[in-house]
Amino acid sequence: MNHLLLIHQAFASLNDTGGTRHFEFAKHLVESGDRVTVVTSGVNYQTAKPTSFAGKIAPKSGEPYVLCAPSWNLLHGGFIARVTGFITFMVSSIFIALRVRDVDIVMGTSPPIFQAFSAYVVARLKRKPFLLEIRDLWPDFAVDIGVLRNPVLIRLARAAERFLYNQADHLLVNSPAYVAHIAGKGIPERKVSLIPNGVNPEMYDGKDACAIRKRHGLDGKFVVTYAGAMGMANDLPTILRSAARFEGIPDVVFVFAGAGKERSALEAQAHEMGLQNVVFLGALAKSEIPSLLAASDVCIATLKNIPMFRMTYPNKVFDYLAAGRPVVLGIDGVIREVVERGQAGIFAPPGDDEAIARAIETLRQDPALRARMGTNGRVFVSRYFNRRDHAIQFRELLEVVRGQRAT
């Protein structure tokens, strides 16, 4: 039996907004007889509202034990506000994590990189193996997209990245392209394991589609859905420009579900463009996403046209495929390979709203193609990107890491 201590500021359950990979892994571990303790924030990073863990005394049966560390949170504040929130959590999480007893492995996850330092400190003080998960290639993504520009901060960030990569007993990544990228920084490939992003297909049972359509006035509409984070990287203005191309077709509607720093700006842009075929639903819990996707005809995913983004496996695409919906994909690279191997969607060059609109129109005009691609995608992810299989791999990885004592 292993006792995993995970430090993750944005840990989310199925009742929260955000990615639930870690919750699903933790639940599998607990059900398999292991112990999992999570140190997280009690405030959702997307909405600044209390999470489902805030104020809890004890976990539900079969779920990890969650401890909430205080942090200073200001929703979508500036750089200083965000960094302050990260640092306060980094400090408070160390003190809380050090009180957790009988730990076998300490796991950190990045970004943000600050919480990875928390895990490193706790692992060293407890003299336990340090497992570091890299979910995004920070700071490379931040530099390429223009979020991180100060040369001094860039050098510090890269130094912090090198330090953590070298100090970790093992590295875990969620995209195959990350393995070679990290190896290119001088890290031996044997030190890096891949457990890709994926999905639990059983969650996507197609229920409540009619209720969702009725609730949001979507009956009789051809629904194009984006469900996910609304940040600078997601290139959502391109989807708005695609929506503008359908203004003369009254039965087409674009639905945006999610939260993030760019949400208010996106809504303002839609208003300025006079778009009547766009609906914003706000942030939804992960448990609500299957019903929304079941009510959709086509799902769409976009990222900015930046070479680094060709290495990512966005969570939302796996959700779309599991829901049996064809994907219009405005992202090149490894995720394009997944969609095309699965024959589950149509690729459009990133940032090309005209090509995205053409792909949507192709699917709108061909119900048989939509059905075939939807079925293909669900079968493909069920076989190759099933989170149940990934959870088993994660447990096996912990057994390996447990034997790697920190020096």
Q: Which of these, 355, 354, 356, lies nearest to 300 by C-alpha position?
A: 356
Q: Are 212 and 295 in contact (CB under 8 A)?
A: yes
Same domain, yes or no: 188 and 259 = no
Using CA atoms, how far apart are residues 210 and 200, in angstroms rounded to an integer? 22
Least confident of 207-221, 322-336, 378-392: 207-221
Tokens of 395: 């447990």
- pLDDT band at 303, cuts 50/70/90? very high
Q: Which of these, 87, 88, 90, 97, lies nearest to 36 by C-alpha position?
A: 97
Range of the domain at 233: 201-384
Same domain, yes or no: 310 and 373 = yes
DSSP-assigned beta bridge partners for residue 257:
227, 282
Same domain, yes or no: 149 and 248 = no
List the CATH number of the domain containing 216.
3.40.50.2000
pLDDT of residue 88 exceeding 70, the answer is yes
The three-state secondary structure class of 346 is strand
Q: Which of these, 217, 226, 130, lies nearest to 171 by C-alpha position?
A: 130
Using CA atoms, how far apart are residues 169 and 197, in angstroms rounded to an integer? 22
Q: Are 337 and 313 in contact (CB under 8 A)?
A: no
Residue 406 inside a domain? The answer is no
Average pLDDT, the chain: 93
pLDDT of residue 398 exceeding 80, the answer is yes
* pLDDT value for 166: 96
Same domain, yes or no: 185 and 274 = no
Give the up-direction half-sphere exposure of residue 308: CA atoms within 13 A in the CB hemisphere.
Answer: 14
Same domain, yes or no: 259 and 156 = no
What is the per-residue pLDDT across 28-75, written as a single tens digit (0 to 9) for each? 999 999 999 999 998 887 777 888 887 766 677 788 999 999 887 655
Residue 329 inside a domain? The answer is yes
Length of the chain, please? 407
Same domain, yes or no: 251 and 287 = yes
* pLDDT value for 407: 43
What is the per-residue pLDDT across 206-260, written as a single tens digit (0 to 9) for each? 888 888 999 999 999 999 999 999 999 999 999 999 999 999 899 999 999 998 8
Tokens of 73: 């949170």
Among residues of the chain, what percentage have pLDDT more than 70? 97
DSSP letter at 173? E
pLDDT of residue 275 exceeding 70, the answer is yes
Same domain, yes or no: 171 and 292 = no
* pLDDT value for 203: 94
* pLDDT value for 58: 66
Using CA atoms, how far apart are residues 86 and 131, in angstroms rounded to an integer? 20
Q: Is 143 left (phi over 0), alpha (psi -120 to 50) or beta?
A: alpha
* pLDDT value for 264: 93
Determine the average pLDDT of the residues in 95-119.
96
* Phi, psi dihedral angles at 187 (to 5 degrees): -90, 125
Residue 25 inside a domain? The answer is yes
Among residues of the chain, what percentage have pLDDT more than 90? 81
Using CA atoms, how far apart are residues 361 and 356, in angstroms rounded to an integer? 9
DSSP letter at 171? E
Residue 104 inside a domain? The answer is yes
Same domain, yes or no: 137 and 248 = no
Q: How many domains does the chain have?
A: 2
Same domain, yes or no: 233 and 336 = yes
Same domain, yes or no: 129 and 20 = yes
* pLDDT value for 42: 85
First to last CA, the chain: 23
Determine the average pLDDT of the residues in 96-124.
96
Residue 407 inside a domain? The answer is no
- pLDDT band at 201, cuts 50/70/90? very high
- Amino acid 296 reads S
Using CA atoms, how far apart are residues 292 and 180, in angstroms rounded to an integer? 36
Same domain, yes or no: 393 and 343 = no
Residue 405: Cβ within 10 Å count: 9
Residue 81: Cβ within 10 Å count: 14
- Amino acid 325 reads R
* pLDDT value for 349: 97
Same domain, yes or no: 16 and 158 = yes
Tokens of 198: 């994926």
Residue 254 inside a domain? The answer is yes
pLDDT of residue 406 exceeding 80, the answer is no
pLDDT of residue 77 exceeding 70, the answer is no
Give the up-direction half-sphere exposure of residue 380: CA atoms within 13 A in the CB hemisphere.
Answer: 23
